[in-house]
Amino acid sequence: MILKPSQREQIIPLPVVLISTLSPEGIRNAAPWSNFTPILRPLEEVLLASWLKRDTLENIRQTGEFVVNVPPVGMEDAVMICAQNYPSDVDEFQEAGLKARHSAKVVPPGIEGCLAWAECVLVEEIAREKFVLVVGKVVHLEVDDRFFNADGSMDFQRAKPLGAMLGHDGMSFTYPAYSGRYAEYREMFQSSATPGRGK
Ligand SMILES: Cc1cc2nc3c(=O)[nH]c(=O)nc-3n(C[C@H](O)[C@H](O)[C@H](O)COP(=O)(O)O)c2cc1C
């Protein structure tokens, strides 16, 4: 089957994070985001792709700060409430029944019940005609110890971080499952690999 260009987002599982921000007036905002990625390891910077008409984008521009919250399965309804297009003066934490969590290094609060909180400051905006790429620097990263191993890695089967597979009329929420294969990073650096190629 050949897919139309408009269906290209249907072929890969996407993460679902909640971006929390504050307006300059101090109104709390939360919005789900799937076009989100860390920029290479070790997660020093992150990237969000944003349509232009987003209170989240406006708040980040105005205050320079945001929190990337990683919600678990069970928060789908709150995620979908936050996805609604509320006016910028509506407190979306209140609308979605979200409890604020004090942030250590930035002013916008995180969201209680999430698995991890990456506190970020705006580094750069890459503006395109219809969208903006927002680069943020992670200035503080904290996780819920109940879902993380002693080495700081997520026990993802227990934590069930929320993801989504997009479809034609909607999206199915998902979470990762172990395929049965574990690979150590040193496998990437075996001598048979082409010398000099960065990973
Ligand atoms: C699962 C999910 C992922 C989303 N991902 C994005 C995204 O990556 N970029 C974007 O601009 N909007 C995305 N949206 C839409 C925004 O969350 C939605 O428009 C929201 O109302 C924006 O809120 P705001 O205006 O308060 O920022 C997503 C919505 C859902 C449900």
Nearest CA to ligand 1 atom 31: 83
Q: What is the pLDDT of residue 192?
A: 62
Element (H, E) at 78: helix 76-82
In tens, the pLDDT along 6-36 reads 887 888 999 999 999 999 999 999 999 999 9
Read off the pLDDT band of 199 (50, 70, 90): very low
The residues facing 32 across adjacent strands are 18
- Ligand 1 neighbour 49 (Cβ under 6 A): yes
Nearest CA to ligand 1 atom 13: 33
Query: Does residue 2 fall inside a structural domain?
Result: no
Query: Does residue 28 fall inside a structural domain?
Result: yes
84 Cα nearest atom in ligand 1: 21
- Please, are residues 139 and 105 in contact by the beta-carbon 8 Å criterion? yes
State what percent of residues in the chain have pLDDT above 90: 88
Averaged over 168-193, what is the pLDDT? 91
Q: What is the pLDDT of residue 145?
A: 97
Q: How far apart are CA 163 and CA 150, in angstroms?
A: 24
SS3 101: strand
Query: Does residue 70 fall inside a structural domain?
Result: yes
**pLDDT at residue 198 above 80?**
no
Q: What is the pLDDT of residue 41?
A: 80
Q: How far apart are CA 8 and CA 6, in angstroms?
A: 6
Domain count, the chain: 1
Query: Does residue 195 fall inside a structural domain?
Result: no
Q: What is the pLDDT of residue 7?
A: 83
**pLDDT at residue 188 above 80?**
yes
The domain in which residue 92 lies consists of 13-189
Q: Where are the beta strands (DSSP E) in 12-130?
A: 14-15, 17-22, 28-33, 36-38, 45-51, 65-70, 100-101, 110-111, 116-127
Q: If you average pLDDT over every residue of the chain, what do you get?
A: 94
Q: What is the pLDDT of residue 43?
A: 74
- Ligand 1 neighbour 164 (Cβ under 6 A): yes
In tens, the pLDDT along 149-162 reads 999 999 999 999 99
**pLDDT at residue 170 above 60?**
yes
Contacts of 110 (CB under 8 A, 6+ apart): 20, 67, 69, 100, 101, 102, 103, 117, 119
CATH classification at residue 105: 2.30.110.10
Query: Does residue 61 fall inside a structural domain?
Result: yes
Query: Does residue 146 fall inside a structural domain?
Result: yes
- Ligand 1 neighbour 93 (Cβ under 6 A): no
Query: Does residue 169 fall inside a structural domain?
Result: yes
Query: What does DSSP assign to residue 98?
Result: P
Distances (CA, A) of 9 to 33, 99, 104, 131, 184: 14, 31, 35, 16, 30
- Please, are residues 102 and 118 in contact by the beta-carbon 8 Å criterion? no
Query: Does residue 194 fall inside a structural domain?
Result: no
**pLDDT at residue 197 above 80?**
no
SS3 197: coil
Q: What is the pLDDT of residue 95?
A: 98
Averaged over 74-102, what is the pLDDT? 98
